Structures are given as structure tokens and as C-alpha cells.
Structure 1
Amino acid sequence: MMKFKRGSAKEGVVAIAGALLVWTFTSPTVASSYGAGIENSRWYLSESVFECSLVQEVPGFGRAVFSHRAGEDLAFYLESTVALMKPGRGQLVVEAPVWRPGVAPKPVGAVKVSGDKRAVSVGAREASIMAQGLLQGMQPTLTRTSRFDQGSVRVSLSNVNFSEPYSGYQQCVSGLLPVNYDQIRRSRVPFASGGSELSVADKTLLDNIVSYVMADSTVERILVDGHSDSVGSRIDNRALSEERANRVAEYLKAQGLNEELLIVRSHGDQFPVSRRHRENRRVTIRLQRQGERPEFQQASGNGRDFSG
């Protein structure tokens, strides 16, 4: 018959609790993994002449997006509904799924993880490697230290059902406009001293503006403002700035732009933006969409309003 000394049961409980405490602080940390499974892996294609994107919902984390805006290269970003990763440097690899053992992962590089909703953003090189990996049956995976403990957070993209939407994405990219709104909302056409002729590069810029405006019905106003340097008489400079503004406006209309959208003005040498004469010889084009604040209706000399 076993006998216990008095107090031994209590001591045993304390010993067990202590052992559990030691195990808690000495056991290896575990990664929290997020990713769509085979049964819920979906890639959604969103397409227009302004942007093509492929989106996958990542259960429990947020969403992964391949985005290709008009006039730009492919990019990728990862959005999180809750900031689960600690800001800093994460590691991005393209690795084989668990059902393809023995395939070595391909390092893509270190990426910046922010505390914002858009936790990760990468450029064309990384995004292209990730997309090609998905087409090859691999899964891009980002790993970063957890924000809430010493463990790590792993986010993997599933390659299941990726190929068909990607084919649609490629077709979408071929139909993108040459520029996006941010690239041409404020544009500048420079001129030689005393000149008002448009160069080939100027016409390409104006062609792109026309292409964009004809596709975006929300653009309701286009301000065309002519300027000159301060060399010569103010009367001549005013006439020259008017000639430049009209030359740009006439070209826009000749390419099919609706004349009713245009507001054409000339300012001579009234609003310089630089001490260099060549930088003041210009026409600026500013687009305004519906709902945007009608800013800068009066030209000013601070270099912001009509500097292009």
C-alpha cells in the first residue's frame, strides 16, 4: 500500500504547475498560417481600360491583389483586415505546396511590412516572379514576426484556379489605356524661346490625354493655360502665351476632344515658376473630374497652380 507524506499532494500540484510554466516559456514558437484551401481557392478578375486586377481572399487575414494600372507595371499588394504582422522586414519566397514535397523554395527577397491596412506592396519584379510561380503550381509565401507574440505569421497564395483568370488578365492588359489619371491630370508642354510649335513628344502627350479623357466620362473640365518668360515686352509675351495655349487646344480638338470641355486662358509672363526662362515658357493642362473641388480658378504665382 502506498503512503504519502502530509503535504505531498499540494507539493505535487505545485511541481506540475511549475513544469507547465517552464514548458510554456521554453517550447518553440508556432507560426500562424493563413491561406485559401483547395476547396475555397478563388481568383477574381476585375477588368477595365483603366486597371486590370486579380484578387484572392485570404481567410482570416485579408486579401491578395495583383494590380496593373494603365501606364504602369504590374504590382502586388497584401491587405489585412487586422494588423497581424509586426512592422519591419518580411521574407517572400515561392515554395511548393505541401502535396509537392522535395521541391526547393525560391527566395524572392526581403519586403517591407507596414502597420497599415495595406501591409505589403511590391513592384513589378517581385510581382512577376510571384505570378509565374503560381502558373507553375507553386505558392508565394510571406513570413513575418507576429505583432502579438514571438511567433511568426505566414501568408500563402493558392495556385488553385489561377490559370484561367490570369489568361483573362493578360487580355485585359493588352487593352489598357497608355496612361492613368494621376499621370496626366497635370501636364506640361514646354516651348522654345519665341516658339509655339509642338514637338513629336508634345503630340504624344496630348494624344494620351485625349485617349484618357475620351474613355473617362467623369472628366468634366480641362484647363489649358498658356505662359511665357519675361524676355521682351509684356504685350508680346501675352500674345505669345495665347498663341501657345490655342495651339495646344486646337490640337486636342483635332484629335477628337470635345470642345465644350476646354477652358483656354493665357497669362503672359504673369506667373513664373522658375528663374530659368525656359521653364516659364509652357502650356499647362489640368484635368478635373466630377466631384473634385474646383481648385485654382485664378492663376497664382506660387508655382503650384499652373506650373504643370
Structure 2
Amino acid sequence: MATSSRKFRLGLSGALSLGLVAPAGAASYGAGIENSQWYLAESVFECTLVHQVPGYGKAVFRHRAGEQLTFFLESESPLMRPGRGDLVVEAPVWRPGVAPRPLGKVSISDGNRPLLLDSRQSMAVVQGLLAGMRPTVTRESWFDGRPVRVQVSNINFTPQFHSYQACTANLLPVNYDQVQRSRIPFASGSTSLSARDREVLDDIVAFVLADPTIERVFVDGHSDRLGSRIDNRALSEQRANAVADYLKARGVAEDLITVRAHGDQYPVSRRPADNRRTNIRLQRQGERPELQQANGYGGESAG
């Protein structure tokens, strides 16, 4: 019995040191001075700053190319009941007397990523950490309704955040989801690229040159149904070539580019302006090429 009691005391002491047990019936999770670390993963595609929350999971700042900063919690098991939780920044225990500052209500969802904050709220969390505070999310537990508190430690945050900022300054202008499928519109009878079109293509070029897993760039020219089918086929080819030539001139390898001309065969709308276009589709290694479908106004060729 004495041995069991001693093991219980040791286990409780360890749990308290990790922040797994809190007063007043709350289950609290957070790193202490001895185990608070932040880890940076950086590339031109994404910058991620990860903090391990002992007993709970992870707190993550994420900035993808072409998007804004987000913050989320990732749990090893769903501990919080879905609904509205509270987000505050509060002083660590070694700074008594500093009043907590509410940041508002937050949505807690089901699954292993219960909290996702937008850019504004994410920056509020950043400012709290830089000020030496501990952002804390509180919500009822799934199991017994007691509060679950997840604390994000500010210890060792500031130097890693400065490195994180340097990473975000070097991000590409767009991410894969944003450029995997792109569309260049054309005026009636035109094959000319506008300044805006060149900006779109420049973003595609920047991504393709940075991502060695891109194995194919499909360039598909289309036309409306005004005029003869032969003329429309030639016009769609000229539009596709105008885009492909621009990509090649900017550095995309010719052997990556597949040019196809479809004329007026695959309309996507009853509006002629919507059908005067060249589509660009990127394909990465390991991605299964999509089947081509073209069923009148509801379909479009792969690309």
C-alpha cells in the first residue's frame, strides 16, 4: 500500500509539472519552463511554427504561400465539446497580479483540429506571446463537462518567431491549390495577353520553377461558338500557343508543357465570353491524371 501511495504521489507530481492537473476541477494542458519549445519548419511553400502541448497535442502557426497567417490546435484525441469556447491571454504563474485579457469567443469543432483561428485572431495570439503572456483556450470537456484549458507557452517563442518572419518574407506569391488550375480569358477574336494575364502567368512560372515535383503543365486553348469551327480551332490553338510561349520565355522547360487546342468543342457556359479562354493545369508526380469529360455546358476537358 505504501508503494502504491508513493507511485500515486509521484504520478500526480509529474502531471502537475506538465500542466495536466489544474485546481478547481479544470483539466489544464500546457508546457512548463523546463519543456517549452517551439520548432520552425520552413520552405518557400509554407512556414510553420509548432509548439508541443504536453498531454494534449500541438499548437501551430501556419502561413502558406499566397494565404494569410492561421493558428490552430491539434489534439491527439477530441477532449473539448464542440461549441463556443473562450480565448484569453493571461500571465504565467511567475507574473502574479497581471490581469488576463479576453480575446473573445472562438469556435470549437469536432475532430483532431478543434480550433482554427483567422489571421486577425492569430495575430492577437502572436502579440500576446511576444508580450510574455500565455494564450489560453477554455471549453467544456466531452466527458464530464469540466473545463478543459489549453495554454500556449511564450517561453522560447520570440527568437523562433523572428526566424518565422524571415521565412514568410521569402514565400512564393501563390500555393499549389491556387495555381493548379488557372484560366486566361480572351477578348473576341483576340490572342493577346493583358498585363493582368502576365501577372497570373508569372505566379504560375514562379511556382513551377520552385516545385521539382511538377511533371506536366497542360495548356488548353478554347474558343466560343461564333464563327466557323475551322476558324475557332485555329484561334484556340493560337491562344494556347500565346500562353505556352510566355511560359517558356519565362523559364518553364518546353518538355514540361503540353499544348492542346479544342476550338469550340468544350463550352463551360452559354455566355461566349466565358468560353474564350486558355486553361492551365499543373500535374505533380504521383497524381493520377484526370479523365477527360466534355458534356456540353456542364463539362470541360481535363485542363
Is TM-score (shorter-chain normalized) higher than 0.5? Answer: yes
Match of 2:72 among 77, 85, 90: 77
Shift of 1:104: 2.1
Shift of 1:296: 3.1
**1:276 equivalenced with 2:271 (yes/no):** yes
Alpha-carbon distance in structure 2 between the residues aligned to 1:141 and 1:261:
49
Counterpart position of 1:289: 284
Alpha-carbon distance in structure 2 between the residues aligned to 1:231 and 1:52:
48
Deviation string for 1:208-261 (max 9, x for gaps)? 101001110011011100001111111111111110000000000000001111
Counterpart position of 2:156: 161
Deviation string for 1:130-154 (max 9, x for gaps)? 0111011011100000100021100
Shift of 1:102: 2.2
Q: CA RMSD in A?
A: 1.5
1:167 partner amino acid: H
Range 290-299 or range 271-280, more displaced? 290-299
Alpha-carbon distance in structure 1 between the residues aligned to 2:299 and 2:46:
28
Q: Percent identity?
A: 63
User: How do 1:1-308 residues align onto structure 2 when only pairs under 5 Å count?
Assistant: 30-297=25-292, 301=296, 303=298, 305-306=300-301
1:32 partner amino acid: A
Alpha-carbon distance in structure 2 between the residues aligned to 1:171 and 1:81:
30
Deviation string for 1:148-195 (max 9, x for gaps)? 002110000000000111010011011000000000000000111111
Residue 29 of structure 1 contacts residue 150 of structure 1 at CA under 8 Å; is this kept in 2?
no
SS in 1 for 2:114: strand
With the length of structure 1 as denominator, give the TM-score of the two structures.
0.88
Range 292-301 or range 92-101, more displaced? 292-301
1:295 partner amino acid: E
Range 96-105 or range 226-235, more displaced? 96-105
Residue 225 of structure 2 contacts residue 232 of structure 2 at CA under 8 Å; is this kept in 1?
yes
Residue 240 of structure 2 contacts residue 260 of structure 2 at CA under 8 Å; is this kept in 1?
yes
Q: Give the total of aligned pairs.
A: 281
Counterpart position of 1:9: none
Shift of 1:105: 1.8
Alpha-carbon distance in structure 2 between the residues aligned to 1:304 and 1:179:
27
Deviation string for 1:68-108 (max 9, x for gaps)? 00001100110000100001111111111122122222222
Shift of 1:306: 4.2
SS in 2 for 1:118: coil
* Structure 1 consecutive aligned stretches of length 4 or more whose deviation exceeds 6 Å: none
Shift of 1:303: 4.5
Alpha-carbon distance in structure 2 between the residues aligned to 1:303 and 1:290:
28
Gaps of at least 5 residues in structure 2 are: 1-22
SS in 2 for 1:268: coil
With the length of structure 2 as denominator, give the TM-score of the two structures.
0.90
Q: Relative to 1, partners in 2 of residues 1:302 and 1:79: Cα closer, same or farther, differing over 3 Å? A: farther
Residue 94 of structure 1 contacts residue 107 of structure 1 at CA under 8 Å; is this kept in 2?
yes
Q: Relative to 1, partners in 2 of residues 1:198 and 1:156: Cα closer, same or farther, differing over 3 Å? A: same
Residue 43 of structure 1 contacts residue 161 of structure 1 at CA under 8 Å; is this kept in 2?
yes
Alpha-carbon distance in structure 2 between the residues aligned to 1:304 and 1:102:
64
Alpha-carbon distance in structure 1 between the residues aligned to 2:287 and 2:45:
19
2:189 partner amino acid: G
Alpha-carbon distance in structure 2 between the residues aligned to 1:52 and 1:282:
34
SS in 2 for 1:56: strand
Residue 226 of structure 1 contacts residue 244 of structure 1 at CA under 8 Å; is this kept in 2?
yes
Alpha-carbon distance in structure 1 between the residues aligned to 2:295 and 2:243:
21
Gaps of at least 5 residues in structure 1 are: 1-27
Residue 187 of structure 1 contacts residue 286 of structure 1 at CA under 8 Å; is this kept in 2?
yes
Residue 189 of structure 1 contacts residue 283 of structure 1 at CA under 8 Å; is this kept in 2?
yes
2:62 partner amino acid: S
Alpha-carbon distance in structure 1 between the residues aligned to 2:48 and 2:123:
13
